[in-house]
Homo-oligomer: A and B are copies of this chain.
């Protein structure tokens, strides 16, 4: 149906059995049926270098930018490396933030993360500041932090814990509501 919302999920980890990529796969199963859902893999994104833009950005970057542009909301699964988001994810966002307006400008965003002693709390704080630069509309509640998450997933990184699956289901419903709400924000014009 043309009025369906589309959510684009991106994981900050390239590791095959990544818990954060597993969270995104679970989101693919648990999002509301009225929402379209797709993911984008960052493995082919080159390191950011604005010199590469002179003849148009690299092909994988164009694909990333177009895919974000045509999605209604961005869902980021952020592993915490060194108290911040992964360089892999930051690098992709550096590319995506190019242009005026960029494809990130004013985009509805939900942030979630698994792992670490404190469930990626520090990485998520950094991510919110990064999103602020792009005037992204970051969902406030509910949040999704999964500390010491190893036991919530099987060995292939699939989310198996029933309670966490319920949380994620509610998170995806809320995000759909947030996207719909954010699209009517009259202050988007002040960007």
Contact pick for A83, options B88, B130, B186, B188, CB 8 Å:
B130
CB distance from A180 to the nearest CB of B (A): 8
Residues of B within 8 A of A62 (CB): none
Say yes or no: A129-B137 contact (C-beta < 8 A), given A87-B89, A89-B87.
no
Say yes or no: A94-B122 contact (C-beta < 8 A), given A48-B88, A135-B141.
no
Q: State how many residues of chain A have any CB contact under 8 Å with chain B.
A: 59
Residues of B within 8 A of A86 (CB): 48, 90-91, 94
Whether the Cβ atoms of B93 and A87 lie closer than 8 Å is: yes
Whether the Cβ atoms of B190 and A186 lie closer than 8 Å is: no
State the A residues within 8 Å of B (CB).
13-16, 42-43, 45, 47-51, 81-94, 97, 117-119, 121-122, 125-126, 128-130, 132-135, 137, 139-142, 170, 174, 177-178, 180-181, 184-188, 190-191
Can you identify 20 A-B contacts, CB atoms within 8 angstroms? A45-B47, A47-B87, A47-B88, A83-B133, A84-B84, A87-B91, A88-B91, A88-B94, A117-B118, A118-B121, A121-B121, A121-B122, A122-B129, A126-B126, A135-B141, A174-B190, A178-B185, A178-B186, A181-B185, A181-B187
